Chains A and B, each alone.
Chain A
């Protein structure tokens, strides 16, 4: 009697798992949905940026604060100006360039507790 009950539970779980897999539309892993407002050339190839953008920002942060080197290519302001959403002008919020990926990866960033997440149009339009 006990064996039958366990068997039924296992069967039910297996069925539920199959149904869940079918809902995913065949993809084995869910991926974050990132909105890229201004597609173009970043400062480094995409795989490098995905893996190392935080190292670039950390490096640039120390150079800027302590030595006054404000290389616009690696500045956080530069990132935001290019990657902010066209609709909201921000890299945060639902579908925001920074927040969507970090929410997916469960990474808690605190850049924007102090830094502005909004695009600065005046700077962005400068050549």
Chain B
């Protein structure tokens, strides 16, 4: 038996022993924040669950997103960037009204990534769909391709950017799941604000982690994607829709 083969078998035994002794250990480890030296990994997939029955008629999530990411409008709705918005639904026959937050759905198969001619639009290993603004040429194909109207083009000069959220004219931007917060182990600003000031309707977590709250909530009751017919497997799910 060669040394390499022996070492390989040794590793196999060690891994098997680890799996037999502590099956829950890996899950606990995955639920923690990554260290700065560790790249985003496909072992995680970030997701967001919105319980619309609890979604209050407020704008706490939108305000928090504005503050965190620094996208303030100029009072020109046609061209102002918009990362998250509240959508009102009303059943015409019964008059039953609902409201829900709509933002980038962080699809597993994002149409914006499919159409991007430069590779600026991409899906990070942990499922967050982003725009690399260094590569974006501002063609806006992704804006047209997104079925959720989630992306905006920055039409006007930007000043006073947040240090963690660089923004500039001539490129496309959208919800990032507050990637700067997620990378340091925090939850997105909208979720934090909803749990503090709103109806506590939002849960953010790792869809790959069987012990996470979002997975338990998804397993416990019915949930839906917006436009499930497109089979995009969105990272944002809604309950009570």
Contact = CB atoms under 8 A, between A and B. Distances in A.
**A associates with B:** yes
Interface of A: 61, 63, 65-72, 77, 80, 113-116, 118, 120, 123
Interface residues of B, number: 27
* Interface secondary structure of A, over-half rule: helix
B145 interface: no
Q: What 10 A-B pairs have minimum CB-CB distances, sorted nearest first?
A: A114-B168, A68-B40, A67-B39, A114-B166, A115-B166, A116-B163, A120-B163, A113-B168, A116-B161, A65-B132
Nearest to B157: A113
Contact of B179 (A63, A68, A113): A68
Given A77-B163, A113-B168, A114-B133, A69 B37 contact: yes
B39 A61 contact: no
6 contacts: A65-B130, A67-B124, A68-B126, A71-B37, A113-B168, A114-B168
A115 B161 contact: yes
B67 to A, nearest CB: 15
A66 B132 contact: yes
B124 to A, nearest CB: 6
Nearest to A69: B39
Contacts, number: 51
Given A70-B36, A71-B36, A65 B163 contact: no
A84 to B, nearest CB: 11
A61 B134 contact: yes
A68 B34 CA distance: 9
Interface string B150-185: 000000001011111011110000000001000110
Contact of A69 (B36, B122, B167): B36
Given A67-B40, A68-B179, 20 more contacts: A65-B132, A66-B124, A67-B39, A67-B124, A68-B124, A68-B126, A68-B183, A69-B37, A70-B183, A72-B36, A114-B133, A114-B158, A114-B166, A114-B168, A115-B161, A116-B160, A116-B166, A118-B163, A120-B163, A123-B163
